[in-house]
Amino acid sequence: MAYFIKSCASNLDWPKDDRKEVCFIGRSNVGKSSLINALANEKIAKTSNTPGRTQLANFYDFDDYRLIDLPGYGFAKVNKSKHYELSKIISEYIYVRSNLICVYQVIDISVITDLDIKMFETISKRFANHYVILNKIDKQNKSFFNNNIKKICEKFNATEEKFIPVSSKEKTNINILKKSILAMVK
């Protein structure tokens, strides 16, 4: 059974143990919260149509691991001081957290940006265990991923194995994502 643990603004608030963690990172409004709910098979994360609602590191318990939902990079409409705070939360977690074993970058398959590619490059330098969840495939025709995977791989300079196409809405390939996460934490 999965459940929300707490939200944290800094490493002072993080759980203090050696439990394995995976995190979701992505631009605002790519569906990270909906994806967490699909993985949990129930609503444990708050969802919103307004980009940038996640402004803390949100910790969730998933029996075998913890999943952390980081604030969206790209930061919807926030002032400079809030931009700095959100950047600090992301950087601190990604570069300091020793429990972190795998990063899942969530991207809207219909809107791949230069910022997504830069973040992929940054995370790849730090983590070999880094995958891209191409979310919202339900908004494309069924062959979109297969027809465009080579282009997507070229954009990211990565192999096809790094990408997991999903739809949190339709729960398409959620089982594949679950298997990927469990393989990382075992």
For strands 57-62 and 2-8, give the pairing. antiparallel
* pTM for the whole structure: 0.93
What pLDDT is recorded for position 16?
95
**Phi first, then psi: what are they for 78, rounded to 5°?**
-130, 155
**Phi first, then psi: what are they for 165, rounded to 5°?**
-80, 130
Taking the C-alpha atoms of residue 53 and residue 83, their distance in angstroms, rounded to an integer, is 13
What pLDDT is recorded for position 77?
62
Taking the C-alpha atoms of residue 80 and residue 102, their distance in angstroms, rounded to an integer, is 29
DSSP conformation class of 55: -
For strands 57-62 and 65-69, give the pairing. antiparallel
What pLDDT is recorded for position 28?
83
Over its length of 186 residues, how does the chain's per-residue pLDDT go in tens digits? 899 999 999 999 999 999 999 999 999 889 999 999 999 999 999 886 655 556 899 999 999 999 999 998 875 566 777 777 888 899 999 999 999 999 999 999 999 999 999 999 999 998 889 999 999 999 998 888 888 999 999 999 999 999 999 999 999 999 999 999 999 999
Taking the C-alpha atoms of residue 115 and residue 71, their distance in angstroms, rounded to an integer, is 15
Taking the C-alpha atoms of residue 186 and residue 163, their distance in angstroms, rounded to an integer, is 20
Taking the C-alpha atoms of residue 124 and residue 172, their distance in angstroms, rounded to an integer, is 26
- The distance between the two most distant Cα atoms of the chain, rounded to a whole number of Å, is 46
Nearest to 105 by CA among 121, 82, 83, 81: 121
